A and B are shown apart, each in its own frame.
Chain A
Amino acid sequence: MAAPSLPGSGLLKGLGLTFKTMLSPATTAQYPHVKPELPPRTRGVIALMEENCTVCMLCAKECPDWCIYIDSSKETVPVEGGRTRTRNVLDRFAIDFALCMYCGICVEVCPFDALFWSPEFEYAEYDIRELTHEKERLREWMDTVPPPPPLEEGAVPPAEIEAGIAAARKEAEEAAAKAKAAAEGGGEPEAEAPQIDEELFARLVAEGTPERAARAKAKAAFVKAQKRREREQGGDQ
């Protein structure tokens, strides 16, 4: 049992608590004046990267409340010395946000990275019909989509991206070799060195990690540090 306290000491303790709370700054966020700091994967609105859409209709089919409206037409593309090909043209892409329940299935299911979550949320309307947004508006929201989060440290980058980087690197090396040959050994070739955390790379190699894995880790560390720097700079503003 606690030691017997003076009668009324609890009342004074309560008074002290409210007084302390009064002196500490309030937690209220002055919303319309101060924008909220939203987490990176906020589901504000669905944005459409129109250029990526192939009118496969998967999103419209998977939508549980059928709020995605897609119209398309076929366009023939003449190919020189071959059969003409047909291409799908997106005529209309609209999402009725009065019906949308923000489940995000369309974003998940899109195989061509055409749909994204945007943290934008200030699109309230006075008329429910105004909540059906056409592809122009959805494309505008694309600009508010945050960049994808960086890969986890040590994660192997996706195969297609790696292939692309390897091809680019090879090209750069060839160009550098050509330049070197042209300059007849005039100084070091300026190969486009991938930006990596040199210190970490050297340490990992010294520890006996295979060079490729070490490079990936060092690169991830560099990207992470870069992000942190950007964030700190952003936070100062």
Chain B
Amino acid sequence: MATSVFALEPLWLALLLQALAALLLFLIGAVVVGYLEHKVLAHMQDRLGPMEAIWHGIGQLPADGLKFLQKEDIIPTAADRWVFALAPAVAVVPGVVVIAVLPFGPGLWLTDLDAGIFFALAASGVTVLGTLMAGWSSANKFSLMGGLRGAAQLISYELPLVLAAAAIVIQAGTLSLPGIVEAQHGFTLFGVPMIYGIPHIIGLGLFFVAALAELSRPPFDMPIADSELIAGHMTEYTGMRYAFFMLSEYAGMVILSALATVLFLGGWYPWPGVGLPEGAAGMVLGFVITFAKILVLSAIMVWLRATFPRMREDQLQRLSWSVLIPLGLLNIVLVATAKVWF
């Protein structure tokens, strides 16, 4: 298996480059997916979306970022100052951390943990701590309800997410993300090279629905339901701190789409069994393929947002506990049986 391109000799240089790469990927991914959402959502609503910034609004998100920087940073008098100020950072940091283990191409990962999938799911779960901190510290009833809903949602949907991923781990026989990609590369279904997403169609559905809920994306955006809770845990936030929450949402879309790409869609290979050229060309091609898959999954998330109305809180909980989790357990039984059988 290829080693990471960041396996350089002076450790400090490797660390510096890794930190830089993680930040860049985080920002660029969030901005690209944010622009995708602006445009796809607009066209699905018979609008054009941003059109003025540079060309077809391509500079809209950086411009918004600059605007957020100039805004006043307001902390409510009754707020718990330290927790309030820290919450956006707690929401953002897990995203950057998870990027460390995501493979974006052959050798294009910062580090290959043996328990990569475990690490990624655990770290991305920390995001909700930011939601909870923001909700609690804002001294605002809407924020508090939003935070509580966010926590309840995470507890409910972390389970189907992990169950769906566990089935893939059983199939691939490894927890390492590049390892899963390589195992998938050699996977055949009745002699035909196949991505995991086709036999694991239940798992893919589970993972995608749970990912939507995990990110509080519509139709599962009850923690920030604007018609009920104003903006949930973000109600009292302004300026850059608010932008951090938005950034973490878009980056979350990239991260969970990237995880789904690795687990179900064959990672950086165009199709299992179809190889990539060696060296730099293969890396570039692998990166492009991975990013294309991520963008398609993100576009589907936007598509669902444009189409479906928000669910009610009790419907959300019922869906998870009485449909998705039993289905996830059944999926594991089926996959384990099939794995032993064949």
A interface vs B, CB < 8 Å? 11, 14-15, 17-19, 21-22, 24, 26-28, 30
B36-51 interface code vs A (CB 8 A; 1 in, 0 out): 0000101111111001
Of the residues A11, A21, A28, A30, contact of B44 by C-beta under 8 Å: A21
Of the residues B45, B51, B304, B308, contact of A21 by C-beta under 8 Å: B45
Whether B129 sits at the interface, judged by CB under 8 Å, is no
- Find chain A residues with CB under 8 A from B51 CB: 30
A18 and B48 in contact, given A26-B42, A26-B43 (Cβ under 8 angstroms): no
Residue of A whose beta carbon sits closest to that of B299: A22
- Find chain A residues with CB under 8 A from B40 CB: 22
Residue of A whose beta carbon sits closest to that of B40: A22
Number of interface residues of B (CB under 8 A): 14
- Find chain A residues with CB under 8 A from B119 CB: none
B interface vs A, CB < 8 Å? 40, 42-48, 51, 303-304, 306-308
Q: A21-B45, A28-B47, A30-B48 are in contact. List 10 more A-B contacts (CB 8 A).
A: A11-B308, A14-B307, A18-B306, A18-B307, A19-B44, A19-B303, A26-B46, A26-B47, A27-B46, A30-B51
Q: How far apart are the CA atoms of A28 and B48 in the complex, in Å?
A: 6
B44 touches A22 (CB 8 A): yes
Q: How far apart are the CA atoms of A15 and B42 in the complex, in Å?
A: 15
Of the residues A15, A24, A26, A28, contact of B307 by C-beta under 8 Å: A15
Of the residues A18, A26, A28, A30, contact of B303 by C-beta under 8 Å: A18
Q: Which 6 A-B pairs have the closest CB atoms?
A: A28-B48, A22-B43, A18-B44, A22-B44, A18-B307, A14-B307
A26 and B308 in contact, given A15-B303, A18-B303, A21-B43 (Cβ under 8 angstroms): no
Q: How far apart are the CA atoms of A32 and B47 in the complex, in Å?
A: 16
- Find chain A residues with CB under 8 A from B45 CB: 21
Residue of A whose beta carbon sits closest to that of B309: A14
Q: How far apart are the CA atoms of A17 and B303 in the complex, in Å?
A: 11
- Find chain A residues with CB under 8 A from B304 CB: 15
- Find chain B residues with CB under 8 A from A28 CB: 46-48
Residue of B whose beta carbon sits closest to that of A27: B46
Minimal beta-carbon separation of B232 from chain A (angstroms): 25
A14 touches B47 (CB 8 A): no
- Find chain B residues with CB under 8 A from A19 CB: 44, 303
Residue of B whose beta carbon sits closest to that of A19: B303
Residue of B whose beta carbon sits closest to that of A28: B48
- Find chain A residues with CB under 8 A from B306 CB: 18
- Find chain B residues with CB under 8 A from A26 CB: 42-43, 46-48
Residue of A whose beta carbon sits closest to that of B305: A18
Q: How far apart are the CA atoms of A17 and B46 in the complex, in Å?
A: 11
Residue of B whose beta carbon sits closest to that of A26: B48
Q: How far apart are the CA atoms of A30 and B48 in the complex, in Å?
A: 9
Q: How far apart are the CA atoms of A205 and B46 in the complex, in Å?
A: 54
Q: How far apart are the CA atoms of A7 and B43 in the complex, in Å?
A: 28
- Find chain B residues with CB under 8 A from A17 CB: 307
Minimal beta-carbon separation of B175 from chain A (angstroms): 34
Q: How far apart are the CA atoms of A21 and B43 in the complex, in Å?
A: 7
Minimal beta-carbon separation of B315 from chain A (angstroms): 14
- Find chain B residues with CB under 8 A from A21 CB: 43-46
Q: How far apart are the CA atoms of A26 and B42 in the complex, in Å?
A: 9
- Find chain B residues with CB under 8 A from A11 CB: 307-308
Minimal beta-carbon separation of B316 from chain A (angstroms): 16
Minimal beta-carbon separation of B206 from chain A (angstroms): 15
- Find chain B residues with CB under 8 A from A22 CB: 40, 43-44
- Find chain A residues with CB under 8 A from B308 CB: 11, 14
Minimal beta-carbon separation of A26 from chain B (angstroms): 5
Residue of A whose beta carbon sits closest to that of B43: A22
Residue of B whose beta carbon sits closest to that of A17: B307
> Which among A22, A27, A28 has the greatest number of chain B C-beta atoms within 10 A?
A22
Minimal beta-carbon separation of A174 from chain B (angstroms): 64
Minimal beta-carbon separation of B56 from chain A (angstroms): 11
Residue of A whose beta carbon sits closest to that of B304: A15
Q: How far apart are the CA atoms of A110 and B47 in the complex, in Å?
A: 44
Q: How far apart are the CA atoms of A18 and B299 in the complex, in Å?
A: 12
Q: How far apart are the CA atoms of A17 and B43 in the complex, in Å?
A: 12
Query: What are 20 A-B pairs with beta-carbon distances under 8 A?
Result: A11-B308, A14-B307, A15-B303, A15-B304, A15-B307, A17-B307, A18-B303, A18-B306, A19-B44, A19-B303, A21-B44, A21-B46, A22-B43, A22-B44, A24-B46, A26-B42, A26-B43, A26-B46, A26-B47, A30-B51
Residue of A whose beta carbon sits closest to that of B51: A30
Q: How far apart are the CA atoms of A158 and B42 in the complex, in Å?
A: 53
- Find chain A residues with CB under 8 A from B307 CB: 11, 14-15, 17-18
Minimal beta-carbon separation of B146 from chain A (angstroms): 26
Q: How far apart are the CA atoms of A14 and B307 in the complex, in Å?
A: 6
Q: How far apart are the CA atoms of A227 and B32 in the complex, in Å?
A: 51
- Find chain B residues with CB under 8 A from A27 CB: 46
Minimal beta-carbon separation of A158 from chain B (angstroms): 46
- Find chain A residues with CB under 8 A from B46 CB: 21, 24, 26-28
Q: How far apart are the CA atoms of A18 and B43 in the complex, in Å?
A: 9
- Find chain A residues with CB under 8 A from B48 CB: 26, 28, 30
Q: How far apart are the CA atoms of A197 and B26 in the complex, in Å?
A: 72
Minimal beta-carbon separation of A18 from chain B (angstroms): 4
